[in-house]
Structure 1
């Protein structure tokens, strides 16, 4: 459902916007009147943005680096004259395996992917929001802070939750709201870039099947959510309708609080 004009005049950055939840969020925000910068390290993000309804621009950046984050945020501020809303969506488990089976470089890769982009982008956007006297940051966390075969990812998302609460407390008196959603398992179209470019081993495929079963069984509704069911809470929290909500992490996982 489109709420026409909900983000009219708002300058918005959505990260991880080339596919999945991020793409769906960015497209809806543009359709609801926002001026949206779709950011992703996948070069087809410009193609995705070009198909969106409304004012949308693609920008390619590696948000695992501070340089990439600052470039993306600066590009949005230059184009739009400021930034009202930041949706930090980059992240996602690369591998599924018991913690004892993870190798140290794999653990570091999970933290870089699912924690650092949000840390960097929050840091990069603050000067612009402080100068404007306010803004909204929505971090996409996960209910998988409790789950199997994803301990490094779980740790990264626990960091997102802590960042959300602390940043909200620190900047509430400056007019900046910081909130998060914690999605559960979500049905989405096939990824154009797989989460694990090296491919899953037979053992990892089995561990992934265990994760899918755990996610469904832990949900009160016994199913994965839809993209729309994840997008709607993100847009609400980003909007002026949620003006009295900050420092909250909203589970969106069919009753599984993580």
Structure 2
């Protein structure tokens, strides 16, 4: 299953897609380029150049650590220099590093989850604003999660709840500047094996069991009793990024088979 194409939907638009080397971010960036956008793919993975080549001549890549403000600011500055401005930012970086009961998290692991899944979006939203102001408007799409309600990932849930709050508050603040801020909240999503694992240390046997518990909970909570596909996540992200959603701002759209999170 592939997301439907809308040729020319992003013609004349410059998009920045973060976390673009794999998974949902990769698919979003590739389709945005197919639909006429000039796309900057941002990731810290060494193989980012392979995805940029796949995206074609209208795309460029920028390696950055978006868990730092300097990385976010440098990426937005590069987009402005390379393409002459920024119209759309899709904040896609994030993902639970560990699945475990909250009582089993160590303090540094809690910090790591917040750095991974909240700060790149917070920093990205801030760093892109001068570019959107210069453009006279634009759109920010944040990729949140329905995991604001779920087991074995409380720090990740807190980070994604923060993204929902950023989306709603920033939308209210920026509406008068002609800037929309919206989000999707994906549920469990089937994806190819990650080339860079979320937890570089690997999973313990206990973590594998806790992860299996999460998978069961996610499928049971979904009305459809299944994971979604990447295409089912790409389509709403790009809809919200497009002018077709011009009267939608401050909204967090659950994309989780009926589980609102």
User: Normalization by structure 2: what TM-score?
Assistant: 0.98
The separation in 2 between residues aligned to 1:181 and 1:84, in whole angstroms, is 18
Q: Does 1:178 align with 2:181?
A: yes
Deviations 1:2-33 (A, max 9, x none): 11000001011000000000000000000000
- What are the ranges of 5 or more consecutive residues in structure 1 without an aligned counterpart? none
Q: 2:63 aligns with which of 37, 40, 60?
A: 60
The separation in 1 between residues aligned to 2:66 and 2:36, in whole angstroms, is 26
Q: Structure 1 residue 46: deviation in Å?
A: 1.5
The separation in 2 between residues aligned to 1:217 and 1:152, in whole angstroms, is 22
Counterpart in 2 of 1:197? 200
Q: Secondary structure at the match of 1:182?
A: strand
Deviations 1:212-248 (A, max 9, x none): 0000000000000000000000000000000000000
The separation in 2 between residues aligned to 1:129 and 1:135, in whole angstroms, is 6
Q: 1:29 aligns with which of 32, 44, 47?
A: 32
Q: How does 1:7-156 map to 2 (within 5 A)?
A: 7-53=10-56, 55-156=58-159
Give yes or no for contact 1:31–1:54 (8 Å, CA) kept in 2.
Answer: no
Deviations 1:69-104 (A, max 9, x none): 000000001111110000000000000000000000
Give yes or no for contact 1:63–1:69 (8 Å, CA) kept in 2.
Answer: yes
User: Normalization by structure 1: what TM-score?
Assistant: 0.99
Give yes or no for contact 1:20–1:189 (8 Å, CA) kept in 2.
Answer: yes
Q: Which moved more, 1:94-103 or 1:125-134?
A: 125-134
Q: 2:172 aligns with which of 166, 169, 181?
A: 169
Q: Does 1:213 align with 2:211?
A: no
Q: Which moved more, 1:45-54 or 1:133-142?
A: 45-54
- What are the ranges of 5 or more consecutive residues in structure 2 without an aligned counterpart? none
The separation in 2 between residues aligned to 1:228 and 1:184, in whole angstroms, is 13
The separation in 2 between residues aligned to 1:82 and 1:122, in whole angstroms, is 15
The separation in 1 between residues aligned to 2:135 and 2:230, in whole angstroms, is 32
The separation in 2 between residues aligned to 1:255 and 1:239, in whole angstroms, is 24
Q: Structure 1 residue 117: deviation in Å?
A: 0.2
Deviations 1:161-183 (A, max 9, x none): 00000000000000000000000
Q: Structure 1 residue 53: deviation in Å?
A: 4.0
Q: Secondary structure at the match of 2:190?
A: coil
Aligned residue pairs total 258
Q: How does 1:224-239 map to 2 (within 5 A)?
A: 224-239=227-242
Q: Secondary structure at the match of 2:55?
A: coil
Q: Does 1:188 align with 2:174?
A: no
Q: Structure 1 residue 54: deviation in Å?
A: 5.1
Q: Which moved more, 1:47-56 or 1:207-216?
A: 47-56
The separation in 2 between residues aligned to 1:147 and 1:51, in whole angstroms, is 36
